[in-house]
Amino acid sequence: MAQEIERRYLVDHYRWQQLSKPEGQLYRQGYLLTDPNKAIRVRITPTKGFLTIKGLSIGATRPEYEYEIPVDEAKELIDNFSATELSKIRYKLEVDNKVWEVDEFLGNNTGLIIAEIELTSEDEQFYVPVWVGKEVTGEEKYYNSNLTILPFKDWKS
């Protein structure tokens, strides 16, 4: 079974802004299904489209199937079939031979910045950069699919 092992963290805004980083890329994501046990997502990056099916997370691990699809079809699926969507700027940074993906959310999720790192096992050791803050792995409110339903702007402090 295909799976992803991913840890997620909030990002320290001040340290992130001070960091020299590569140019980010705009991602648009539409959700065809958002359910506590599974999600079906369509994603558009600047050059590609993807259809992704994700299962229930157990710890930092969950089933994931991802397929590249033509960008024009991905756009049609989001425009015509997605129940919810979000946009974000994604930055990819290599730190100590691991890739960190950092998402600065847009629209109703502006102000939220999340860093993710994919691992080969749940107990894999890795370096945590100074701009990485509190771990939010497994906290459902931070799942992208849930951010389309209850966006960051609507959270109570």
22: which DSSP letter? P
Please pick, among 27, 31, 91, 143, the residue that the annotation labels catalytic. Answer: 31
Name the token pair of 96.
């100590």
CA 7 – CA 4 distance, rounded (Å): 10
Instruction: Give Cα 105 distance to the centre of its chain.
Output: 9
Residue 84 half-sphere exposure, CB side, CA atoms within 13 Å?
Answer: 16
Catalytic residue flag (residue 31):
yes
Residue identified by tokens 């946009």 is 87
Q: Exposed (0-12), middle (13-18) or buried (19+): which is 62, by Cβ within 10 Å?
A: middle
Query: Of all helices (H) and strands (E), which one includes residue 16?
Result: helix 13-18
Residues annotated as part of the active site: 31
